[in-house]
Structure 1
């Protein structure tokens, strides 16, 4: 006669984590879930906030200026038009006639120097557009460098503690005591770099220390939470715990710093180009302001005032766009908001009641 199954074995088989799902997830469903969580849900979160929506559109506009814009706009050269042509002058937008079925219709728009010209008769719109790619490269290199270095070192220092913590914090404190702008000026004056990526790295060389110390403080509190203790008790490696448990909890704070670092790169680069410390080129907003001030006294002459104010407006709009965009980054990395939008993107009902796993355990 077969032996009877013990009560302990029967209970173990009935526990929910010992059972498997009846339906298997297909590759297509897994792909759709990944697209929902990584692309659709973040976009829905951004689009739900008007500030993040406006900031996102501004950033996209500048990215298009730095990529497609340089291809469709002519390189600035002397003699493109009259000297000191004002923005949106009488002939900046005209329509050429197109013949359709023997009927001439003025439907072909022609844009001619929409933002006017400078003292050398160069189009200001073309100068602004062709200065955008280098600015985007500097922002990308400098902001990414300082944010990545600060996040890695700050997380490692806060989690490991001991000698590692003391060594990293000592290095960060020494870096913070060095005046940032004079250091950048000296390095730029000695190296005279002309590569935008190298310039961005130089500008971001002193920006990591403050974030590193702030990230360390956050990690000191996060590492004592239950889910980190559970991962540590399960024997997971330190890199796995940092990547899966601690860094995602800090991403909201880190992303906000990334936007702040990007704005700092913009202001520092424009200032150094305006002062003539970085290599001189007309394809930069700071150089445009320098030429407007030194060549025609744009601050005191109405005829050339647009030459210095247009780059300033360009910088301001980009800075405002970054600030507005940062408003939505906190919501993107909020797990509750993100999960709700992932569920909505997948066709689920936000108000649908969730069933507890323990409901599958039969009660006798």
Structure 2
């Protein structure tokens, strides 16, 4: 039996409209709280740390360079596009100089950036993701699950990483940067997974985790709400470490000629500078070797600074404390402003 209009209006008040308004208000409150916790407070903490600002600036610069290359907004490197062995700033059309084949060195670095960024991203996500999943499950469940997963991790750790990568690269000659990133970090996750398991063994003994288990909270919810947030500072630092490992390993393997050299890469550029121009012994070709080294150095520095800053962002205690201090400061400034206005 449907309620009549008279039933919904008792005492001259439209209760159905009031309930709808209350529901909308509570939904808005939830959205506001979600924005405060997920967006505002993390952004506030990140902006308060100079390391995060500089790290974002450096990594963002490389992302912009990658987009410029991917969209074709900068000329592609070609042989005989300029005089050979131009020094940096000798010709402003080729700011970083040219190589032994007359190729624009800046074009080489720019067009190597997209594949490098894709490789870094895929490798770091693979290594960190597998380590977090297996390490968290092993540490939280314990028993047979823990023994089996850690036995797998121990077996993977026992495999020499560099020879494995070299054999797989020679056997399959992958050219997709996403596949190369996973290949380079194929067994990198094992050691990180063991470290995360040790962290989880400590966290699962905390009182709030025990309380959740006592109340019958599902395992997946405990891991998602109680375990993972406390692991995030540690995971963030190791994500950056895995990304830097991909950079150095890929450049080294390209330099050695193990990975396919069908595309531009900083390691290939360094190899050609060393093998064809004697950049280690000739000052005229030194810029050919130094430029990609600086590109690697600054990207690694940006990732380190960003990782150190994000450590504070993912720490819930630091985020709450700094956000509260910022809000109180903003409130005091607003009160001072209002008092000045009243005086005037």
TM bracket (short chain): 0.7 to 0.9
2:273 to 263, 287, 292: 292
Alignment match, 1:84: 85
The Cα of 1:55 is off from its aligned counterpart by 1.3
In 2, the alpha carbon distance for the partners of 1:281 and 1:309 equals 22
Task: State the Cα distance separating 1:344 from its structure 2 match.
Answer: 6.7
Change (3 A) 1:32 1:127: farther
Q: Give the structure 1 partner of residue 112 of structure 2.
A: 131
Quote the offset at 1:23 in angstroms.
9.9
Deviations 1:227-262 (A, max 9, x none): 111111111111111111111111110110000000
Higher mean C-alpha deviation, range 27-36 or range 334-343 = 27-36
Q: Distance in 1 between matches of 2:113 and 2:139?
A: 38
Aligned residues: 310
Deviation at 1:46, TM superposition (A): 2.0
Which of the residues 170, 173, 178 maps onto 2:151? 170
| Residue pair 1:116, 1:125 contacting (<8 A) in 2 also | yes
Match of 1:53 in 2: 53
Change (3 A) 1:335 1:350: farther
TM-aligned CA deviation for residue 72 of structure 1: 1.6
Unaligned 5+ residue runs, structure 2? 1-21, 333-344
Residue 72 of structure 1 is matched in structure 2 by 73
Of 253, 256, 271 in structure 2, the residue corresponding to residue 275 of structure 1 is 256
CA drift of 1:340 comes to: 3.8
> Aligned with 2:227: secondary structure?
helix
Greater share of helix residues, 1 or 2? Answer: 2
1:246 lines up with 2:227 in the alignment: yes
Q: Distance in 2 between matches of 1:61 and 1:257?
A: 22
SS of the aligned residue for 1:300 comes to coil
1:229 maps to 210
1:211-360 alignment to 2 at 5 Å? 211-343=192-324
- Aligned CA RMSD, in angstroms, stands at 2.1
Task: Describe the shift of the 1:115–1:39 C-alpha distance in structure 2 as closer, same or farther (beyond 3 A).
Answer: farther
Relative to structure 1, the CA distance from residue 192 to residue 344 in structure 2 (aligned partners, 3 Å threshold; closer, same or farther) is same
CA distance in 1, matches of 2:321, 2:331: 10
Residue 68 and residue 341 in structure 1: after superposition, are their counterparts in 2 closer, same or farther (change >3 A)?
farther
Measure, in 2, the Cα distance between the counterparts of 1:344 and 1:36: 14
Following the alignment from structure 1 to structure 2, what is the Cα–Cα distance between the partners of residues 310 and 125? 8
* More deviation, 311-320/75-84: 75-84
User: Mind listing any 5+ residue stretches in structure 1 that lack a counterpart?
Assistant: 1-21, 93-111, 353-364
Distance in 2 (alpha carbons) for counterparts of 1:188 and 1:273: 11
For residues 89 and 47 of structure 2, the distance between their equivalents in structure 1, rounded to whole angstroms, comes to 32
- Runs of 4+ in structure 1 off by over 4 angstroms are 26-29, 341-345, 347-352
Shift of 1:157: 0.5
Mapped contact 1:36–1:342 kept (Cα < 8 A): no
Aligned to 2:187: 206
The answer (yes or no) to whether the contact 1:172–1:210 under 8 Å persists in 2 is yes
Give the whole-Å Cα distance in 1 for the aligned partners of 2:68 and 2:41. 27
In 2, are the aligned partners of 1:127 and 1:282 still within 8 Å (CA)? no
